[in-house]
A and B are shown apart, each in its own frame.
Chain A
Amino acid sequence: MTTERDTPVAYIARIAEKYAALGYPAYRWVVNETPPPWQPLSKPLSECRLGLIASGGIYVTGQVAFHYKDDTSYRVIPTDIPTAALRATHFAYDLTDARRDVNVVFPLDPLRQLAKKGVIGALAAHAFTFMGGIYSARRVQEELAPQLTERLLAERVEALLLVPV
């Protein structure tokens, strides 16, 4: 049987099956009935300083790598770093392509090009990365998110691109 073209993969159902096969209770996904307050861009994107946060387990060689059990730490990635110095580690996705070219989960090269061309005003001096698959949404909200918010404010970010895997 072939999945119908253009039908997205049903990941919530698939993960429920994986949990059930392991004898775990169903995961309680975060479900927000209403989106957060709307904030339009304050100026054209070509004048905005763009921030970047990615959850694919990206670190710089020399930094401590992420671990796979509810790692709520984050890494600070200078956005002028050569992409050859970036690494990827994660328990839940196939790392083959991310390790061949990190831009598949951490789009630093294209964003640098778009900043140079003036499509975005600038890329913030630092990007922030963490390890996804943190079981407790509460810990993300209470431990990780406030620290990232603080860092983004310090970077004076005006628009933010979030790249999960």
Chain B
Amino acid sequence: MTSALDITQAVNPPRAAFVDFPLGHTTGKPHQPDLQRAIMVEALGAFTSLTTPGSVKRLPFRWSADDAWKDTAQRGPDDRRPRYDTPQYQNEEDRLRAETHCDATCVTPMRHPVRQ
């Protein structure tokens, strides 16, 4: 799936489903389960409907009537956060929980067996 069509076309995956939504919404809008499910159904349909390698299915969903969000995405300020090299928790409770209970297997648990 993708919401950045030009980047995906450069990478050129075998199949792609394009959702023309602002970044951070590749699979829908918050608390709209019907929309989220419809996006999934359309995206998964590309597994069988696309038969040419490298093709992209444009999904039939529109973020808003006027597409004003695209002006912000194309010309708005650079609002990326600094490249901190320490864990960036969503909240302090998460930090405490991880720091008290988590060992190295919480990061990339290569030795943690996958349950079948």
Q: Which residues of A contact B (CB under 8 A)?
A: 1-3, 5-14, 18, 21-22, 29-41, 44-45, 50, 56, 61-70, 73-76, 87-89, 91-101, 103-107, 109-111, 113-114, 119-120, 125-126, 147, 151, 154-156, 159, 161-165
Query: Complex Cα distance A22/B107, Å?
Result: 32
Contact B88 A110 (CB under 8 A): no
Contact B28 A104 (CB under 8 A): yes
Contact A74 B1 (CB under 8 A): no
Query: Complex Cα distance A69/B86, Å?
Result: 8
Which secondary structure dominates chain A's binding surface?
loop
The distance from the CB of B112 to the nearest CB of chain A, in whole angstroms, is 7
Contact B71 A2 (CB under 8 A): yes
Contact residues in A for B71 (Cβ distance below 8 Å):
1-3
Which secondary structure dominates chain B's binding surface?
loop
Complex: chain A residue closest to B113, CB-CB:
A154
Which B residues between 24 and 59 are near A, CB-CB below 8 angstroms?
Answer: 24-31, 33, 36-37, 39-41, 43-44, 47-48, 51, 53-54
Complex: chain B residue closest to A63, CB-CB:
B106
Would you list 25 pairs from A and B whose C-beta atoms are within 8 A, ordered by A residue? Answer: A2-B67, A3-B71, A3-B74, A8-B6, A34-B12, A44-B48, A45-B47, A61-B94, A63-B107, A66-B88, A68-B84, A73-B107, A87-B89, A89-B90, A91-B84, A103-B33, A104-B25, A107-B36, A107-B40, A110-B39, A125-B114, A151-B114, A162-B1, A163-B27, A165-B26
Complex: chain B residue closest to A62, CB-CB:
B97
Contact A3 B27 (CB under 8 A): no
Contact residues in B for A165 (Cβ distance below 8 Å):
3, 23-24, 26
The interface on chain B, measured as residues whose beta carbon lies within 8 A of the other chain's beta carbons, has a size of 75
Shortest 5 CB-CB contacts between residues of A and residues of B: A35-B54, A101-B30, A93-B24, A3-B70, A107-B27
Contact A12 B10 (CB under 8 A): yes
Contact residues in B for A61 (Cβ distance below 8 Å):
93-94, 97
